[in-house]
Amino acid sequence: MKTTKDTANIREITEALDLSELPTKEQEEILVDINDLVVKGTIIRILERMDEKNKNDFAEFLNTNPSGEEIANFIDAHVSNADDIVQETITDFASDILAVTKK
């Protein structure tokens, strides 16, 4: 679920990277890449916080080639603060971008 804070972070990232100066197609491609980085970062954080049994269950689950929605449902069922971890990842990513661009 996207929050107001998520929207603000996305706007800050877009402005810091001067994406508005690029053609729309390039903007979309960069935002897709950013989304992929956030998803990967979130999964790493979630795995770091899972106990060994959940990690093993998740690994077995991934071997079934689940859809993105099925993965999200698994994580929601096994990680009580998954939404907080997503928010944390987005916030940290935005902070990193802003620190590098100094905007």
Confirm if 8 and 56 have CB atoms less than 8 A apart.
no
45 in helix, strand or coil?
helix
Q: How far apart are CA 6 and CA 14, in angstroms?
A: 12
Confirm if 75 and 46 have CB atoms less than 8 A apart.
yes
Q: And the tokens for 94?
A: 């935005």
Q: Quick: pLDDT tens for 7-37.
A: 777 788 888 888 888 899 998 899 899 889 9
pTM, two decimals, is: 0.77
Q: Quick: pLDDT tens for 58-99.
A: 999 999 999 989 998 999 999 989 989 988 998 898 889 888
**Of 3-7, 42-46, 48-52, 74-78, minimum mean pLDDT range:** 3-7
